[in-house]
Amino acid sequence: MAEVYFYHLTRSAAEAALAQLLRRSLQAGWRVAVRGRDAARMDWLDERLWLGAEEDFLPHGRAGQPHAARQPVLLTTAMAAENSPDCLMCLDGAELDPAEIGGLKRACVIFDGNDQDALNLARGQWKALTGAGCGAQYWSEESGRWEKKAERPAG
């Protein structure tokens, strides 16, 4: 069973942290689904991922579009991802069901620690997922670099 990594953002914008995590996931050979709650936010993120230097380009597509199943990174608001991901990254409080964890290599919850509602939602997700037996790690960038602050083994 995959572990869930919680990324508590206090210094980075979600799209910057996401780009870093996506690069690492692609280097590991993983297919990734990025799940959000709002289609307009996914449109904005899609556009952001197309911008920037050519060497920073992250190949991606949108759910429901042609060739969605072949995308190494798929942006979606749906619970099921067409690209059969190895890793699922949830943004903006997107739902993560404990039953999904078993088919993944990793799941990530990326949240804005400066937003009290997002922080409370992430705490609720931690409780629900670890309560269901999922292993989890909590990472914070509060010190200026990523540090593991907590870990709960599966079981």
91 confidence band (pLDDT: 50, 70, 90): very high
pLDDT at 107 over 90: yes
Task: Give the pLDDT score at 1.
Answer: 67
Nearest Cα residue to 7 out of 142, 138, 143:
138
User: Is residue 136 very low, low, confident or very high in pLDDT (cuts 50, 70, 90)?
Assistant: very high
Instruction: Decide: pTM greater than 0.85.
Output: yes
Q: How far apart are the first and last CA of the chain?
A: 10
Please state the rounded mean pLDDT for residues 105-129.
96
Burial class of residue 34, CB neighbours in 10 A (0-12, 13-18, 19+): buried
Mean pLDDT of 48-73: 88
- Which is nearest to 91 in space by CA: 38, 31, 144, 137? 38
3-state SS class at 138: strand
Q: Which residues contact 106 (CB under 8 A, 6 or more apart)?
A: 2, 3, 4, 5, 25, 30, 86, 87, 88
Q: What is the mean pLDDT of residues 53-75?
A: 91
> In order of start, what are the domains of the chain with their CATH numbers?
3-152 (3.40.50.10110)
How far is CA 101 from each of CA 16, 28, 62, rounded to the nearest angstrom?
Answer: 24, 18, 22
